[in-house]
Amino acid sequence: MSGELRRLRAVERWVGWIRLVAVPFALFQVAISTYPGGSYELWAWVTTGIFTAGALVLFRLGRRDWTLAAQHRLGLAALGFDFAVVSAYVLIFNFEDASPIRQVMFLPLVEGALRYGIWGALAVVAASAPVMAVFEWLRQRHTEPHDYRLDYVTLQLGIEVLMGLIVGWLVWRLQGETGVAEERAGESERLRDQLGRRADTLEAANRCARALSSSLAVDQAFDAFIREVRGLLPFDRMAIVLSESGTAQVMAVAGAGADDVLPPGSGRPIHGTLLEELLRTNQTVYRKDMEGADFPEEEEFLELGLRSRLAAPLLQGARSIGMLSLVRREPEAFSQEEVELTTLLGRLVASAVQNIRAYEAERKTVEELRRLSAL
């Protein structure tokens, strides 16, 4: 539900309560008033009856959940009803010269400002001008020396204009501040959701890093790593490639062509490959579409039906030791959030990869020493 609709419903329900409170007050005032001859009293009671019935109907209607357009129509009808009732009271009680009956017109004026700001208040002033003119014409018939006082009319209308400007401006200012507060609350909600998503993402990335650190044996560690990554970042092919003495050495690979195209343990010169560019910039590289094969290994990926590629550096301090590569069959398959997540993942798993590489090097050294010892 929009903020404007909430505001209109709140105004309608509040005015509905005020209208109900005004009913017994109107009954009391009509009952204690002293009427001259004629049908003044009859019309006063008829107007009060209409006001009572209308107040009950509008109160019931104001409790319903209307659409924005219907709520606007209901508010306009309610304002017109209140203005008509107040105008009727003003004209009926024209015989009370000492009574401040004109000031009752301030009620629909404030209501108009509350609903529509300054323009609503000025519209009520314009509508009340003929009512005040007729009221003064009726009043002068009952009051000596029976002259028409134009200054009475202009004074009433002038005060209405000033009051409408003040109340309308306050309403607009309040609406503006409310809009700013709602916008800030919405922004706070979005930031909180974003922070929550980032916290979840960080936790998932940490799980992947812990999975890779769960064992120093490459096969076991990589199998655990794949299980975690598949649930976080779906892929058609994934590989961890390390830089060793000018060679792009494939540490582990899974997915399409894992046994045929750059299998685990294979290597090739690093010159001209995507890894070379990544080591130079230390920045994640996103190849939205490998069509055209800017790097030699991409020709093999295209033959496997793979189109988009995302490679994040494995940063050990400020230096890249390799890359984490994710490949998908569809072009432009990675979102910006997935790019950021892969970059974070590359930073987190770098230490685990370095530990595994060091362990593998020492294991091979130990095996070689055992072989030499046996000889």
DSSP letter string, 76-113:
HHHHHHHHHHHHHHHHHGGG-TTS-GGGGGHHHHHHHH
**Which residues partner with 355 through β-bridges?**
none
Question: 338 pLDDT exceeds 90?
Answer: no
| Cα distance between the two ends of the chain | 83
pLDDT tens for 52-69 read 999 999 999 999 989 989
SS3 42: helix
**Which residues partner with 253 through β-bridges?**
239
Nearest alpha-carbon partner for 122 in 113, 114, 130, 132: 113
For the chain, state the CA radius of gyration: 40
H-helix or E-strand spanning residue 53: helix 40-62
Q: Which residue has the higher pLDDT, 220 or 164?
A: 164
- Between 108-112, 203-207, 250-254, 274-278, the lowest mean confidence (pLDDT) is in 203-207
Mean pLDDT of 68-93: 93
Q: Which residue has the higher pLDDT, 87 or 35?
A: 87
Mean pLDDT of 331-340: 88
pLDDT band at 24 (very low <50, low <70, confident <90, very high): very high
Q: Check if the beta carbon of residue 226 is closer than 8 Å to that of residue 326.
A: no
* Helix 68-92 / helix 3-32 crossing angle, nearest 10 deg: 20
- C-alpha dihedral (132, 138, 143, 147), degrees to nearest 10: 70
Q: What pLDDT was estimated at residue 53? A: 96
Determine the Cα–Cα distance for residues 165 and 111; give it in Å rounded to an integer.
13
pLDDT band at 199 (very low <50, low <70, confident <90, very high): confident
φ/ψ of 162, rounded to 5, equals: -60, -45
- Between 20-29, 78-87, 112-121, 264-273, the lowest mean confidence (pLDDT) is in 264-273
**Which residues partner with 237 through β-bridges?**
255, 327
Mean pLDDT of 110-136: 93
Question: 1 pLDDT exceeds 70?
Answer: no
pLDDT tens for 238-265 read 888 888 888 888 888 888 888 888 888 8
Mean pLDDT of 301-320: 87
Strands 267-269 and 285-287, by their bridges, are: unpaired
Q: What pLDDT was estimated at residue 188? A: 84
Please give the full DSSP string across 177-193, using - where no structure is assigned. HHHHHHHHHHHHHHHHH
Question: 48 pLDDT exceeds 80?
Answer: yes
**Of 121-135, 177-191, 233-247, 250-264, where does the model show the most confidence?**
121-135
Nearest alpha-carbon partner for 225 in 255, 181, 190: 255
Contacts for 109 with CB less than 8 Å, ≥ 6 apart = 121, 124, 125, 128, 160, 163, 164, 167
Q: What pLDDT was estimated at residue 59? A: 94
Q: What pLDDT was estimated at residue 214? A: 66
Determine the Cα–Cα distance for residues 200 and 196; give it in Å rounded to an integer.
6
pLDDT tens for 159-173 read 999 999 999 999 999
Question: 13 pLDDT exceeds 90?
Answer: yes
Determine the Cα–Cα distance for residues 336 and 341; give it in Å rounded to an integer.
9
Question: 142 pLDDT exceeds 60?
Answer: yes
**Which residues partner with 325 through β-bridges?**
239, 311
Q: What pLDDT was estimated at residue 181? A: 83
SS3 139: helix
Q: Check if the beta carbon of residue 253 is closer than 8 Å to that of residue 300.
A: no
Question: 359 pLDDT exceeds 70?
Answer: no
Mean pLDDT of 219-230: 75
- Between 73-82, 109-118, 315-324, 325-334, the lowest mean confidence (pLDDT) is in 315-324
pLDDT band at 357 (very low <50, low <70, confident <90, very high): low
3-state helix, strand, coil in the chain (%, to 5): 70, 10, 20
* CA angle in degrees (0–180, nearest 5) for 192-197-199: 95
